[in-house]
Amino acid sequence: MSSTSAALPAAWPPLPLAEWSDTLATLHMWTQIVGKIRLACTPLLNHWWNVPLYVTARGLTTLAMPYRNRSFQIDFDFIDHQLLLQCSDGARRTLPLKPRSVAGFYREVLRLLAELDIEVKLWKVPVEIEDPIPFDADEQHASYDAAYAHRCWQVLRQSARVFESFRGRFAGKCSPVHFFWGSFDLALTRFSGRRAPERPGADQITREAYSHEVISHGFWPGTGKQDAAFYAYAAPAPPGLADFKVHPQEAFYSEALGEFLLPYEAVRTAPNPDLKLLSFLQSTYEAGAMLARWDRTAMERLE
């Protein structure tokens, strides 16, 4: 066996939700705190593209954010397990990533920002979760398993790499590969160029996010009884999408979620995980684009 083949299992590590759900819940809130700082400090971009975090060679980052005549950024480092706050004038602070309550993390981040002469007003209530606890009152979530945080980042990093390859096949409007802290998922979205009808019951967030027709793909580490999975959906969903046969054989349509799912475990254990994932991304895109009559000739790059 070659050294490359031997490295594959570590490259796509196991990520069983039951073994790290407490850490995931805590880390989700930590990323929301950092994400809300980015939201507060950046101007609105279409489809809320100013709010996500981005995968780096060591973790997740806000990228540079403007603050008065300076800029700063906040990075999660899942190798040395620390939060880094860095400014354009050279000022720098760090916070160890270790078992710590959400409330404690929130207080420490605000303290470090104050030391850097940065004042940010945040809405302290988490989003996109049931029964949210304000950050400054959340002593319930306080777990941090460094090994599983590292594994999660590894999966995000590998997924982002394959997503970037898939993104390069499309010449139309396409989002970056970015990490949405509200739902704790990595996402990549393609656009048809046509405006979409307003979704029933749409609020300000969904109205902006789905103002145009999209086909979106992503990775989600799971929740409840649903383990980690890759997903794909079209919005609005064209008639017949749920019944469309997609690849690979492990992929299926979830009526409850209204999207296609491919279990992460099917990708992780495949002889070639990249090809398995790419087949899912391509076949689900083709299903949505064909049924919704996208102008594929104009938007797809020739191989």
pLDDT tens over the chain, length 303 residues: 333 333 434 689 999 999 999 999 999 999 999 999 999 999 999 999 999 999 999 999 999 999 999 999 999 999 999 999 999 999 999 999 999 999 999 999 999 999 999 999 999 999 999 999 999 999 999 999 999 999 999 999 999 999 999 999 999 999 999 999 999 999 999 999 999 998 888 888 888 888 999 999 999 999 888 899 999 999 999 999 999 999 999 999 999 999 999 999 999 999 999 999 999 999 999 999 999 999 999 999 866
Q: Within 13 Å and on the Cβ side, how many CA atoms surround 263?
A: 13
Cβ–Cβ < 8 Å for 130, 117: no
Four-CA torsion 150, 154, 157, 160, nearest 10 degrees: -120
8-state DSSP, 186: E
Amino acid at 251: A
Task: Work out the angle between the directed axes of helices 146-167 and 17-41 (0-180°, nearest 10).
Answer: 60
Phi, psi of 84, rounded to the nearest 5 degrees: -115, 130
pTM (global) more than 0.85: yes
